[in-house]
Amino acid sequence: MADPLTSSSPSPDASSSSSGPPAAPGRPTRRGVLRAAAVAGALGGPLGTVISGAAPASAAPAPAAAAPPELPAQLTAHRAPYINWAGEITHEGLWVCAPRSGQDLADLANWAHANGWRLRARGKSHTWSPLTVTPATGPDARVLLLDTTEHLTAMETVPAPPGAAGAVRAQTGVLLETLMAFLAGHGLGVTNTPAPGELTLGGTLAIDAHGTSVPAVGETARPGHTYGSLSNLILSLTAVVWDADRGEYVLRTYHRGVDEECEALAAHVGRSLVVEVVLQAGEETPMRCLSRVDVTAGELFAAPGSELAARGNTFADFVDESGRVEAIWFAFTDRPWLKVWSLSPERPVTARKVHGPYNYPFSDSVPTTVARLAGRMVGDAAWYLAPALGAAQYTVAATGLTATLAADLWGASHHLLFYLRPTTLRETANGYAILTRRSDLQRVVSEFAGFYRERLAAWAAAGRYPVNGQVEIRAGGLDQPAECAAPGAGPPLLSAVRPHPGHPEYDCAVWIDVLTLPTTPGAPEFYRELERFLLDTFDGGHALARVEWSKGWGYTDTAAWDDEEVIGSVVPASYGSERWQRAIGVLDRLDPHRVFGNSFTDRLLRG
């Protein structure tokens, strides 16, 4: 077996509206980072390059500190700033090291246990959530960040099991974009990936990252593919775990369908360190992506059986036709940007062939008009410009699709599925997966859209604009064991799209995110109102709401991840208490000293 060398970080996505503790002197605050972005926006600069994983120009350098910790295996640590995706969790300097091998990671775990430190895999810091680093983490906290992207990126194809077209062994510091290009070079691919390619494999697996796909009407499942999350592709994994007999942390490999540990580690929400995985893959099939901006929100999100729904342009209609749909609905507009992907072995005559990912340049770098509006809203507290920002974003999308000949694209699947660069507008987001029956998909979409539109209008009538970004709606499959090539496989225990044993009729999920600029007044309060609607409406009848680990949830009127009822009761209940406790029991047994975790995961994943 290749040496396991990277880490499943709890990185990818959860949104924070929490203001966090007061900043230490010289420490870059979220508002400071965003004000720097506002200045760039006013000058027409790329807002996304300011709110990024690198320290903003306005941030003070990391303070001088005591001598760095003495690490094992000739590893060295240095201070580096930490800034998450939307700039809401910032630290002027935490200790970071770059492990070179899986054994380095085991040695670090033993060092951390002996010296009272905790380890967090940093990946690319593409996260909204406190699963990696919490806002309250001080610069001198005994937290060591692990940069898995420098050395832990090896990949190789391995023999495929029956039922899959191929398989790959990969260290989890590799970026998704790199991994998918490697697979494509061997004629292989996957059905689902998130939109950004600059995410570590470890981070995406830690939070069961997803794409958007269900079978189109008449579509037959392809060997090696899954309509569920990336975690459902795991055949085996190697993690750093506690060996009670030896009294130390070691590397150990677990196999799907054989070892119960694999089901817990496949989506561990930051409570472990997975260093290498073997993933199944299917044959690569080129895709077509059609974009439309002419279908009204009224039609797309129409109630089933209504006159508008009868026109045949509902979200569910497009899902039935192609199986792969995303709606991006800009605030205060009535025509979403609709993307419809479909399997297309041959290039349609009208489609433009693409030769790489990120084919929407008008959204990759923030246009001047959008940057200036965002800059005024954040820098001058001109939040009343939210309708203008929504209109500008729609106009940019509508004109950009035409100007760049991007309305009809064809090419390799990963070239079409990756479309979000780090230079895009950085927004905060909430996130939920609504499990339901395929026949109720449009009902769920319509119920959400109706409530969102009514509440947004009511807040605006009161002179308040808590949302100025977009709603993103996708439909995906569940983590069905039958789609895994490992005999006897069970679904990942903590995957948001784990099938619910009490509701075998649920066969798909509606993914819902609502985005807004960080620091927007009233955003947590609005998100709380929306969350309560989702939890009350989709309570296990025709649908069931689960939180999306990588986004914002558990809202109070002032902060995300702060509602103890949601954290302590609602979330566990959505999985079933027996399975929730089973997952926690395995994770606690594999890391009884909680080397892998932080104060937030301590609150969330407690027995």
Residue tagged active-site, from 263, 326, 447, 531: 326
How far apart, in whole angstroms, are the C-alpha atoms of residue 317 and residue 297? Answer: 14
The stretches of 101-158 forming alpha helices (DSSP H) are: 102-115
Residue tagged active-site, from 299, 472, 531, 548: 472
CA separation, residue 43 to residues 38, 40, 374 (Å): 9, 5, 11
Q: Which three-class secondary structure state does DSSP give residue 249?
A: strand
Residue 126: active-site member: yes
> Is-contact 341 287, C-beta < 8 A?
yes
CA separation, residue 275 to residues 1, 456, 543 (Å): 13, 44, 35
Residue 219: active-site member: no
Residue 147's contacts (CB-CB under 8 Å, 6 or more residues apart) are 96, 97, 98, 122, 173
Residue tagged active-site, from 288, 335, 415, 474: 474
The angle at the Cα of 293, spanning 291 to 296, to the nearest 5 degrees, equals 130
Output b/e per residue, 264-283; b: 16+ Cβ within 10 A: bbbbbbbbbbbbbbbbbbbe
How far apart, in whole angstroms, are the C-alpha atoms of residue 128 and residue 149? Answer: 19
> Is-contact 164 482, C-beta < 8 A?
no
CA separation, residue 554 to residues 265, 435, 437, 531 (Å): 23, 18, 25, 8
How far apart, in whole angstroms, are the C-alpha atoms of residue 477 and residue 210? Answer: 9
Residue 396's contacts (CB-CB under 8 Å, 6 or more residues apart) are 362, 363, 367, 369, 370
Q: In this structure, how many other beta carbons lie within 10 angstroms of the beta carbon of residue 297?
A: 17
Residue 474: active-site member: yes
Residue tagged active-site, from 113, 118, 122, 126: 126
Residues carrying an active site annotation: 126, 326, 472, 474
